[in-house]
Amino acid sequence: MSKALIVYGSTTGNTESVSDDIARILEGKGYAVEVRNAADVHVEGMAEGIDAVFLGCSTWGDEDVELQDDFIPVLDELDKAGLGGKNVAVFGCGDSSYEHFCGAVDVIEQKVEELGAVLLGDSLKIDGDPDTGEITTWTDAVTTRI
Ligand SMILES: Cc1cc2nc3c(=O)[nH]c(=O)nc-3n(C[C@H](O)[C@H](O)[C@H](O)COP(=O)(O)O)c2cc1C
pLDDT tens for residues 67-120?
A: 999 999 999 999 999 999 999 999 999 999 999 999 999 999 999 999 999 999
Residue 146 lies in a domain: no
Q: How confident is the model at residue 8 (pLDDT cuts 50, 70, 90)?
A: very high
Residues within a 6 A CB radius of ligand 1: 10-15, 58-62, 68, 93-95, 98, 100-103
Residue 126: predicted pLDDT: 98
The total of structural domains in the chain comes to 1
In angstroms, the CA 6 to CA 55 distance is 6
In angstroms, the CA 29 to CA 90 distance is 19
Domain of 79, CATH number, reads: 3.40.50.360
Residue 71: predicted pLDDT: 99
Q: Going by CA atoms, what residue is nearest to atom 4 of ligand 1?
A: 60
Q: Going by CA atoms, what residue is nearest to atom 9 of ligand 1?
A: 101
Residue 132: predicted pLDDT: 97
pTM to 2 decimal places: 0.99
Residue 58 lies in a domain: yes
Q: Which residues sit opposite 60 in a β-bridge? A: 66
Residue 88 lies in a domain: yes
Residue 112: predicted pLDDT: 98
Tell me the CA–centroid distance for residue 11 and ligand 1, in Å. Answer: 9
Residue 112 lies in a domain: yes
Tell me the CA–centroid distance for residue 42 and ligand 1, in Å. Answer: 25
Residue 145 lies in a domain: no
Q: Going by CA atoms, what residue is nearest to atom 16 of ligand 1?
A: 94
Q: Going by CA atoms, what residue is nearest to atom 17 of ligand 1?
A: 94
Residue 62: predicted pLDDT: 85
Residue 99 lies in a domain: yes
Q: Range of 60's domain?
A: 3-137
Residue 98 lies in a domain: yes
pLDDT tens for residues 22-70?
A: 999 999 999 999 999 999 999 999 999 999 999 999 999 988 999 999 9
